[in-house]
Structure 1
Amino acid sequence: MLKEGKSKADILEATDATIGVNQATFDVQDGEIFVIMGLSGSGKSTTIRMLNRLIEPTSGQVLIDGEDVMQMDKQHLRDVRRKKMSMVFQSFALLPNHTILQNAAFGLEIQGVDRDAREKAAMASLELVGLHGYAEQYPDQLSGGMQQRVGLARALANDPEILLMDEAFSALDPLNRKDMQDELLDLQENMHKTIIFISHDLNEALRIGDRIMIMKDGEIVQIGTPEEILSQPADDYVERFIEDVDRSRVYTAGNVMVRATTINIEKGGPRLAARRMRENEISSVYVVDNSRHLLGIVDAKDVRHAIADNKTDLRPLINADVPTTHIDTPLSDLMDAVSSTPIPFAVVDDQNRLQGIIIRGAVLGALSGNEVNTNV
């Protein structure tokens, strides 16, 4: 019926069968956090459960390192589920009569790993998620956030390449949810796992995702980075999705910076600085060296005085007290400072090389939904 062009609603009415996922083709890159999101009924949870065949796809392929999960026999599939990918559930799925250590080691236990080895691995994973000292307690002695940490520790204990996380934080209160998001991002800096994360919360998706796939009625609507989703929504559905998003928490300094007018201290003096300011109709210019290291800023008034006094050296005029930030700094961390500083923020890299500057107009434009730099 799908091949005949029937819609999901048509098929439901005619057959009482629901199309869970329809012609979804996508790839997940090694070491990224790939978020699949959509409203209830969009097909996101069905999609993630097809990756490890908890739900059997009716057609298509699921390729992991070129190997088709759909063609695996039961034993091969069991090995992949146990060793290559782990799943973290929304409901924690902890065993109430097992200690925290036993819960964390459970996946290894059913693999037949001996007790000393599995408990050593489980203890290491509990340490990793911040549960040192809780090994002998039971799930009902822990808060919801801590129970979710146990679920994450269990998934990490067998050191899988792939983590499948099905709305893993949605049962938590807002504070614990944010803590777990932070925890996941911190862990990922060290683990470099491939994480497929299901969410219905766009703010969560934008916060943790390297790329986001938005689904509707079982179909893929758009795949992109957080900046691409916000700045280049594919259609009206995505636009409605993002209309209430706090862009200041997603956009970074790199997304709003503009090219800075500069003068090289090794090649120019007050007269060249004055010329640059006249040409660009600005009242100050940034000073760099041959390698674009930021030295500071010179003001038009000081430059005029130097020219009047027939000075040729720009160095005494440099004001080194320039506010700086990194290209990856979220706008939310800069808003107050950008609105109050008389000198535009300079965006520098780790070697203090000037990348651009932040002017208030560009910030306001980005927050209002206008185009931003996406290639930074």
Structure 2
Amino acid sequence: MVIISKPLFYDKIGPEVKCKNLIHSWTDSCVDANFTIILRYLVKGVFFFYLPIYLVKIIVNHRKIDKYDKNYFKNVIKAYLKSQMYGVALGTLMASTICLSTNFTGRLYYYGIGFLPGLMSGLSIFFEHPDNRHLNTLIWLNMVVEALFNNAYHFKFIECSAVKETIIFMFASALLTHLLMTIDKKKIPINIWFYRPRSLKNDDILKDCVLEFFKYLGIGCGISNARYLISRTANLFKNPIKTIFRSLFDRNNLKFSLVFGAYAGLFRIVSYTLHKSSQSTKTLNATIAGFIAGIAYYINPTINILTIAIITALQMLCKQYLLKPKWSERIFFTELLFMVSNGFLLHNRVAAPVTCPHYYLKMLKLASGGLIDQLYLNVIKNYILA
């Protein structure tokens, strides 16, 4: 994939190149083009992107349907429609911002096809269901950190090493465990970290560790397969049995699951050993256990797990020590973070797709019906390589 630097962009793309040359060559009207983009690409793309996600939610929460929540399906449909509006608005604001900025300034600018459309399209988060806004922002921040690592590795700012990543993960795991043990559970914000330290209740340590291993092996399996299937929605509808079979026996999915299981098992063994052999506090024992359990990362060094650990720790530190709840709510702190993150990620997608997080690439391709990919190809084929 070609990387578009700022000097290269201005060298190849002059003032004569307009938005119609990149995203709506079939018409000169930006208004008509944006309506066409919504109807032809976004509505269908977003529908099929969110459909498997909400189906998985229904399957996971199937017990609530009869026992706890009589309005479960009604609430799911409302949340799905809000997500649909959010996804369509995200794509619409991307395209319309490029058109507006081009017509307003008279030409295409380097940050006007990536960061600015991404920033403005981040306003779409206000359409999303409130319960999903914080989660979406966490996922986007996680991808920003992943993109920073990818760029650092690709452009040789730092050398990539499984050992280095494992050491970083071990320290992040120790910090996370310490925070989870010391912060009041009611004050812990929503996070996407997979493991929660719990008290030792079973004297049969072997049975306890085996159960913990298989429990989190199953959680890892569920997460890895859900990600695999969501990124292959089209194949899932065309050939569901074959796609699911490949997902279940995919080597990377199995290794990803093994990291979860090994982490949990190691954590329990070390916690139990320290509990029996030392007089240290529960917090210190758990922190040491979190550090040693981090060795499991070496089984399958996956930047996603590392970035989730870093972002979750930073989130908890900010919530506990830096950000006052009233202040952060007053300025829509979560939504602003999402906007800036989306601006960074979209610019990364357009300028250097080789370092862009895989999930973001797949999400844009599916939800926009391939429109963002077409924009990049138009820039490359018609101008950069022309």
Shared fold (TM-score, shorter chain, > 0.5): no
Larger strand share, 1 or 2: 1
Q: Which has the higher contact order (CA 8 A, sep 6+)?
A: 2
Structure with bigger gyration radius: 1
TM-score (norm 1): 0.26
